[in-house]
Amino acid sequence: MVFLDPAHGGADPGARISDQLDEKTATLALAAALRPALAQAGFTVLSSRDAELPVNTTLPLDQRAGLANHAQAAACLVLHVTAAGSGVHLATSTLDAAAPTTPGLPAPWDTAQAGYVERSRALANELGEALLQGQLPVLLGRTLVPPLDNLTCPAVLLEVAPLRGADPRQPDDATYQLQLARAVAAGLRRFHQAQSGDDHQPAKPRPHPAAPARPEPQGDATAPRGATP
Amino acid sequence: MIPRYQRIVFWLLLVCITGMSLFLVRGCSEARKKLTALADATPIAAPASTTRPEEVTLELASDVDDSITPTQRTLALPQDQPLRLRNILQALLAEYALPTSAHVLPAEPAVIDVFLIPLSAMDNDQPQSPLQAASAVSDTTPLLAVVNLRSSFVLHHPSGVQSEDLTLQSIVGTLHAASPQIARVRFLVDGQPHDTLAGHISLTRTYPAVDTAYAPALPNASPQDAAR
């Protein structure tokens, strides 16, 4: 199962992406684009919100983390969209890696992610590779944004910025989102295979035609905050 | 023949005029004494805080490659430590207001104050007066730096995970470079706790003051941290 958390919503519009687009709407559209691609790759998808929240309400960050932790997802993606920068930013928690807590036993809320940091960085790395192979510029990093530190699953914050250069595209561009969704699905599939082995593949794996071959073993998981393709 | 009541009024007015004249003469005399005291030519003590050129390290962020690079600048800084740190942060944020900046931020004053508090005073259960806290500071006391930002700066800061993260890490890294005695950093906005910088990065946490400089690397590549 993959948990998607389209950030913001309701009374919290997030960043202003354009005159007509708030971040809360853009993250929801991004989640909608990711869902079919992930389902096609054989993943069950759970989302913290599938529609716009009622006016004057918000979905608290702790509640989002609680939903993800309760679902015991194999991977959690916190989705953000920004008008600044370029390409896709993948960020993991800044917490130092710690031994994973025993399932079923309570973990400190503020550092719940510590036991999953290594796997989160491995996930970010797989996603980064897949995005690079999908011709999308990637920056790897670490961030302090909540609720990343509260998640008890391999968790990556995925922030989508406009594409600049010869073929500029805004984050709400359908082609850009489709390209992104395919790369994310491919990265998640490779991460899942690396974590569980070939015997525990997703229910209905359907390799995407553009999916790259399995990459070489990863380097040091303690990757720095920033990375460029 | 002058009526009796008019003579009484005359003498009363005369007494009042005399009294007021005496009061005026005494006031002038007192004022002259004060002016004479102010005109004392004795040299006064030199101000405790003077500026002097100093080379400092600014941890400059770049949106282009998500990097933070240590950069040397020479600034005229006061000796008073909180003022010195405030001026360094102002210089850092002024760099981001330049048209050539790789991490563009609004061009306006951003930092109201920087306070330094001994961490031991924060951990101590017994409340300490500012005098006690100040007397407990030595050259090796780990300090908490409290950066008081202007609300106008926060209001106009670009919203986004990467942009906010870079700003915060840049400030934390610059404070660490300016004074290694600073162990932790907290943020206030107009003197009050504030949830986030611009909707993403939490300002309610206390951040460890570390070297935040780093260089980018490819996914799956060996780390190339610039400073760690």
Residue of B nearest to A79 (CA): B161
> Which CATH number goes with the domain that contains A169?
3.40.630.40
CB-based contact (8 Å) between B187 and chain A? Answer: no
Q: Are A80 and A158 in contact (CB under 8 A)?
A: yes
Question: Is residue A20's pLDDT more than 80?
Answer: yes
Domain that holds residue A104: 2-200
Distance from CA of A159 to the nearest CA of B (A): 7
Distance from CA of B210 to the nearest CA of A (A): 12
Cα–Cα distance for residue pair A228/B218, rounded to 1 Å: 6
CB-based contact (8 Å) between B58 and chain A? Answer: no
- Residue A205 included in any domain: no
Closest CA to A123 of A70, A186, A61: A186
pLDDT of residue A223: 36
- What's the domain count of chain A? 1
List average pLDDT for each run of 10 residues in chain B, which is 228 residues long.
90 95 94 79 61 88 87 91 94 92 88 91 60 61 93 91 91 94 94 92 88 72 40
> Is the ipTM of this structure higher than 0.90?
no
What amino acid is encoded at A174 in this protein? Answer: A
Q: What is the DSSP string of chain B?
A: ---HHHHHHHHHHHHHHHHHHHHHHHHHHHHHHHHHHHT--SPPPPPS--EEEEEEEEEEEETTTTEEEEEEEEEEEESSHHHHHHHHHHHHHHHHTSTT-SS---SS--EEEEEEEEHHHHH-SS---HHHHHHT--TT--EEEEEEE-HHHHHHSPPSHHHHHHHHHHHHHHHHHH-TTEEEEEEEETTB--SBSSSSSBSSSPEE-----B----TTSPP--S--
- Residue A96 included in any domain: yes
Domain parsing of chain B, residue ranges: 1-36, 51-208
pLDDT of residue A129: 94
Q: Give the B window 15-54 contacts with A, CB below 8 Å.
A: none
Question: Quick check: B200 and A80 CB within 8 A?
Answer: yes
User: What residues in A contact B214, CB-CB < 8 Å?
Assistant: 224-226
User: Degrees (nearest 5) of the Cα angle A49, A55, A59?
Assistant: 40
pLDDT of residue A215: 35
- Residue A129 included in any domain: yes
Convert the pLDDT of each residue in A64-122 to its tens digit. 999 999 988 999 999 999 988 888 999 999 888 887 666 667 778 888 899 999 999 99
Question: Quick check: A16 and B159 CB within 8 A?
Answer: yes
Convert the pLDDT of each residue in A174-189 to its tens digit. 999 999 999 999 999 9
pLDDT of residue A209: 34
User: What residues in A contact B221, CB-CB < 8 Å?
Assistant: 219, 223, 227
Residues A112-149 as b or e (16 or more Cβ within 10 Å = b): bbbbbbbbbbbbbbbbbbbbbbbebbbbbbbbbbbbbb
User: What residues in B contact A146, CB-CB < 8 Å?
Assistant: 202
- Residue A118 included in any domain: yes
Which of B66, B168, B198 lies nearest to residue A141, judging by beta carbons?
Answer: B66
How many helices (H) and strands (E) in chain A?
Answer: 4, 8
Q: Give the B window 69-108 contacts with A, CB below 8 Å.
A: none
Distance from CA of A169 to the nearest CA of B (A): 17
For the segment A51-61, the average pLDDT, to the nearest whole number, is: 88
pLDDT of residue B216: 62
User: What residues in A contact B199, CB-CB < 8 Å?
Assistant: 8, 12, 14-15, 23
User: Degrees (nearest 5) of the Cα angle A81, A86, A92?
Assistant: 60
